[in-house]
Structure 1
Amino acid sequence: MSVLLALLWDWRFGEPPAKLHPVVWMGHYLRWAGRGLTEQPPRAALALGTAGWLLGAALVVLVYGALERSIAPLPLWAGAILGACLLKPLFAFRMLLEEARYVEEALEEGLEQGRWRLSRIVSRDTRSLDEAEVREGALESLSENLSDSLVAPLFWFLLLGLPGAALYRFANTADAMWGYRGEWEWAGRFAARADDLLSWLPARLTALVLWLCRPGFSLRGLAAEARQTPSPNSGWPMAALALGLGVRLGKPGVYVLNPQGRRPTARDFALGLSWTARAGWGAGLVFALFELGRVAHA
């Protein structure tokens, strides 16, 4: 019941306050642990970055393991409610959809507003993007984060309980803060590889869920397009969205997905948003059913 209750809480109330948000606390730890890492020589930066990641991951797993054990003796209904309260901050479905929609709403006010709003959710330079490229960036963020912000945390919760979901959230946050190239090439290398490993199967499951909700493209074509991105994982949900909508998605100078597709319009964006919402709910309900089945056979 925890997955279903957490999904309903997320849909109704969204994110908890920042002061109470465990992902914000993870970010505080990573900022503290990451101080001075990029100034170290490569080998030292790699070793210290790895140690900092492992320490943070261990703390997260220990805390959530203790919390899970503390609610285990409670009646089923009480454990489900408390489990949902602990699980909800570890995924962000409603916020994912809202942030994407805000980009389109900002575009309606003007290109500069759209560029600024997109810059809040992507790492690329948005200052020279045209209207279609702004939509491309928002659709890519929407599809990629359907995996990172919903499917992967719930997948690891189903597999390893609250410690699994929390570990994934820590790894994904560390990748966002430490895992980019440039000055973090060495200090963030372990964080990036850990996120790649933990996201590998969820990313492909996300693409499959998108396909099941709109099976108008071939899975073979999906695999071919997904390999065009530098990331081993993000290309899967992005390629699924590009092929399903029949649009071109890409990061200037880096990759292009479905290059024969049309440039996305406002109508394409609205369709992509509603399709992603259906896929997210579908995946969430499947995970909830698996959880119920496991509880019933316990």
Structure 2
Amino acid sequence: MGLFTTIVVIIVAVGIDLVVGEPPNRFHPVAWMGSVIGWARRVCPKRGEWMRFLWGGTIVGVGCVIVGGIGWALDALGEWILGEWVGNRGQVTQVVTWIAVVGGQAVVLKCCFGIRSLDRAARSVLSCLQRQDDAAARQQLGYHLVSRQVDLLSAAEISAATIESVSENTSDSVVAPLFFYVLGGLPAALIYRYVNTCDAMLGYRTTELEWLGKCAARCDDLLNWIPARITAGLIMIASPTSALCAWRTWWQDSRRTTSPNAGHPMSAAAGALGVCLQKSDHYRLGARLREPLSMDIASMLALFARTVTLAVLLACVSKALIGWLVLRGTI
């Protein structure tokens, strides 16, 4: 599709996510992906590490081919409608058709984002903490944002975990889908979302999933390598008054997490907010900084909004630059 159309699709998709939020699961492509992954997990070989590894690789590979093919078909259909089908029709028909194609593409792309849902989940934890209802805050945190054990977390640890989740998911749910859409359209964005969903469901070091989810985890690490670092940079830029602290903490602590990517946006956010983010027996980001308070969740959400705005602007500018280079024959 044309450069202008692609940029409009990005803006409309983000707008739909902000206004509408998540559709019901029966209409949500990511929920469909999850259902298929869940089925494949249930029927996987019960014995043999290599058999489970190969089965996990098959889940990732076959799924990527399918969702990538669907994305390619949707892109090709949009190109055909705008390029050939609508060519000899009246101006009104052309405008209406263009709006319909943009809307359809934007709805599919929107399903790769989680901006409003992430904001609402964090606000639900914040609301509980403000009421001094730590038990409810733990429940909301464990249900919406983290997979770790939450039963014994203090208010400061709840705040830290919420900030960590929002910062990490700024990459997974916003920057990475935009990055891959800019590079490869709907096929790339959908493949990324599928791999990320595989990792979310299978990428755990448990007896059952150690080998089954290994391929998904490694592929997700690879796909998120650049977006995680872009996210950290955007967080730093979105915090002009604390950019130096964000950069210093990012530089010093980004490699302290087990994940090769999660530590980048989390450490940048820790420095930007001036708080220490700690997961007991795992990592401590910004060790010299103070413990987070509930009000820091609100600050993180404001930072999240600024970072999302910068990410959308960067995606649009990058797409325009790529289009200009293509027209010049540079790439």
Structure-2 separation of matches of 1:80 and 1:74: 11
Instruction: Give the superposition deviation at 1:78.
Output: 4.1
Moved more, 273-282 or 160-169: 273-282
Instruction: Give the superposition deviation at 1:294.
Output: 5.1
For 1:147, the equivalent position in structure 2 comes to 171
**Counterpart residue identity of residue 106, structure 1:** C
Structure with greater Cα Rg: 2
Instruction: Give the superposition deviation at 1:50.
Output: 0.7
Point out where structure 1 has 5 or more consecutive residues left out of the alignment: none
For 1:209, the equivalent position in structure 2 comes to 234
SS in 2 for 1:34: helix
Q: 8 Å contact 1:153–1:169 — kept in the other structure?
A: yes
Q: Which of these residues, 31, 41, 47, is aligned with residue 38 of structure 2?
A: 31
Q: 8 Å contact 2:249–2:268 — kept in the other structure?
A: no
SS in 2 for 1:39: coil
What TM-score, normalized to structure 2?
0.86
Matches within 5 A, 1:46-61: 46-61=53-68
Structure-2 separation of matches of 1:278 and 1:194: 29
1:171 and 2:195 aligned: yes
Q: 8 Å contact 1:93–1:149 — kept in the other structure?
A: yes
Instruction: Give the superposition deviation at 1:262.
Output: 0.7
CA-based RMSD: 1.6
1:5 and 2:12 aligned: yes
1:127 and 2:148 aligned: no
For 1:263, the equivalent position in structure 2 comes to 291
Change (3 A) 1:21 1:93: same
Instruction: Give the superposition deviation at 1:77.
Output: 4.3
Matches within 5 A, 1:1-298: 1-37=8-44, 39-75=46-82, 76-109=98-131, 110-120=133-143, 121-182=145-206, 183-214=208-239, 215-217=243-245, 219=247, 221-292=249-320
Change (3 A) 1:150 1:225: same
SS in 1 for 2:42: coil
**Counterpart residue identity of residue 112, structure 2:** L
SS in 1 for 2:80: coil
SS in 2 for 1:224: helix
What TM-score, normalized to structure 1?
0.95
Instruction: Give the superposition deviation at 1:220.
Output: 5.1
SS in 2 for 1:256: strand
Q: 8 Å contact 2:118–2:166 — kept in the other structure?
A: yes
**Counterpart residue identity of residue 219, structure 2:** A
Identity percentage over the alignment?
37
Structure-1 separation of matches of 2:25 and 2:307: 27
